[in-house]
Structure 1
Amino acid sequence: MPSTVFSNHVKTLGLLPVSGQEMATLNGPDFKPYIKILYLPTGFRLRVDFSIYQTVQPTLFFISPNQYLEIEEAGVESGYFIFYNRDFYCIQIHDQEVACDGLLFNNFQNMPNVEVSDEENAYLGYLFNELIQEFRLDDNSLEEMVRTYLKQLLIRATRSWKSQHLAGPVTDQQSDLEFFRKFTRLVEAHYKSKHTVADYADLLCMAPKTITHKFNRLRLPQPNEVIKNRIILEAKRLLVHTALTAKEIVHELGYEDPAYFSRLFMIKTGESPSRFRANFLG
């Protein structure tokens, strides 16, 4: 499949093949700033931040720009790698589930991967083929057609994600699910300065207990855990991918007491920050 990229000054979307030959390029720094969707057949292994995923059936992965991605092993069949920026596609103004801050992205509590059924796999084959044909045509409607296919992919993947990751009828949970998205977006925006459920309760104009009850109805971890997990994830990223000292990282994450943060890190990871860095990089 030829490399296919649409670029119009500020808007970019590309569709690339994924096989052993492209791994070094795809793992490089060129794609870090982009939102990424990977369709990987059986036999791929990839690392996203500090978790490793092995595909035992065709799977979609949704990667935000701030996440570390490395494809470690390719399967026999090639996959697809879509990358695009917010200028090309993001519906934040309408706050829809398929926006770039929707269920599939920045969902740090549950890595968004969607295992693809045989029926969905057939549809995805059709969709990727249509995308390739659009690039080959290079018509003046290319941008809108490609955006339409991308939206179809995100909508269908969101439906599959909800059916695979949420217990009970989705319709009964829609209100709480929307609240979960709102809460996690607030955490993503404020985790460096707001560290408690009470902080977010103030932003949401509700009691902390109400937040907890909503999370319980979705059988999700406690909201305090969501906040702390996001903070610890960022600490891990800074320890591994920067040369900042542990004290500088503590300050970067909005804490004044290094000893307190070190205890929190130890509770969440079982290691001190310095030991985590040494073990990961050693």
Structure 2
Amino acid sequence: MSESIAQKSKLDSDLLFKIAPMKPVIKTTRPHGHRSYFELIFLTGGGGRHWIDVDGYDIVPNALYIIQPGQVHFWEMTAIPSGYVVMFRDDFLIEHHLSAQDLAAAAQALNGRGLLPEQAGQVLELLRHIEAEYLVSGQDSGKILASYLNILILRLKSWSDNGHSVPKDPTFLQRFRTLVDTHFRTSRQVQYYADLLAISPKYLNDQARKAAGVTASDLIDERVVLEAKRLLLHTDLTIAQVTFDLGLQDPSHFSKFFIRKTGISPSDYRESIR
């Protein structure tokens, strides 16, 4: 176990999009993140366990995983994997008017789940079309790849909508969460984010309640707790070091905050999850 979470990049800095077959090797990777791009992974075979943030998923046939920028993941493979990994930057989504919010909804509903045979067949067919176009790399390949990816995202969204609520204002929620992801170590004050969004704290709280059913302060605290859990699970940092990494100053205050939000102390959480 390391004392920090590594950041890896399998997508060259000059690329916005890439698809590749899963490497046919059995290995355990160390916890790491990809700050600047999404990974969409579809496994047709393999075995073991895949961790995303603090959630562990048994690897099952036709498993789908969507890893968003900033998330931490690692593999504990026990059988040779097969399938595809698709990597794309947020700029690729923006350029081609694709929805990061739909991806997030699909990740929440489908991550680690084995798709039904009919669903898996549709995903595999789309990924094979994407791979073929990626290898051709023609003049309009970017648009064609975006079209295939959009179809895939919409398919996943349609399968994830059943039984899962969709935020009433996803655009606002995404903007706010992006700011919190960037600045939560600097400030946990609602006023700080209201200023960045050029709105009042009351309006920010009202919009957060409409979009997520909780206050803006609750969303900020959720992000701090998630990062604390990542560090407690994936590193050997002491509680004091975790406190300072989060931009906080008092380990005792952090422990009380963590207990209030989770019902368990940081040290007990670390012991229970490992």
What TM-score does the superposition give when structure 1 sets the normalisation length?
Answer: 0.69
Compared with structure 1, are the counterparts of its residues 64 and 238 closer, same or farther at alpha carbon in structure 2 (3 Å cutoff)? same
Q: Return 270-279 or 231-240, whichever deviates more.
A: 270-279
Among 5, 15, 18, the residue aligned to 1:13: 18
Take 2:60 and 2:159, find their aligned partners in 1: how far apart are those partners? Answer: 17
Q: How many residues align?
A: 259
Aligned position for 1:196: 189
Aligned position for 1:165: 164
Aligned position for 1:49: 53
| CA displacement 1:141-181 (0-9 Å, x = unmatched) | 555543442343234434544555216xx8xx3xx222222
Contact 2:18 2:88 in 1 (8 A): yes
Take 1:7 and 1:247, find their aligned partners in 2: how far apart are those partners? Answer: 34
Q: Return 115-124 or 183-192, whichever deviates more.
A: 115-124
- Which segments of 5 or more consecutive residues in structure 2 lack a partner in the other structure? 1-9
Q: What pairs up with 1:1-282 in 2 under 5 angstroms? A: 10-11=14-15, 13-17=18-22, 21-24=24-27, 27=29, 32=34, 34-40=37-43, 45-54=49-58, 58=62, 60-72=64-76, 78-85=82-89, 89-91=92-94, 96=97, 98-99=99-100, 102-105=101-104, 111=108, 113=110, 120-135=119-134, 137=136, 142=141, 144-158=143-157, 160-162=159-161, 164-166=163-165, 173=168, 176-218=169-211, 220-281=213-274
Of all paired residues, the percent bearing the same amino acid is: 27
Take 1:24 and 1:76, find their aligned partners in 2: how far apart are those partners? Answer: 9
| CA displacement 1:257-282 (0-9 Å, x = unmatched) | 2221111112233433334345545x
Aligned position for 1:3: none
Contact 1:37 1:82 in 2 (8 A): yes
Take 1:255 and 1:17, find their aligned partners in 2: how far apart are those partners? Answer: 40
| CA displacement 1:107-146 (0-9 Å, x = unmatched) | 8xx8363665666544323212212333555656555543
Highest relative contact order (Cα 8 Å, sep 6+), 1 or 2? Answer: 2
| CA displacement 1:21-69 (0-9 Å, x = unmatched) | 44527x4689856521022469965321111235788553210243222
Over aligned residues, Cα RMSD in angstroms?
4.1
Take 2:228 and 2:120, find their aligned partners in 1: how far apart are those partners? Answer: 37
Aligned position for 2:4: none
- Which segments of 5 or more consecutive residues in structure 1 lack a partner in the other structure? 1-5
What TM-score does the superposition give when structure 2 sets the normalisation length?
Answer: 0.71
Aligned position for 2:5: none
Contact 1:41 1:55 in 2 (8 A): no
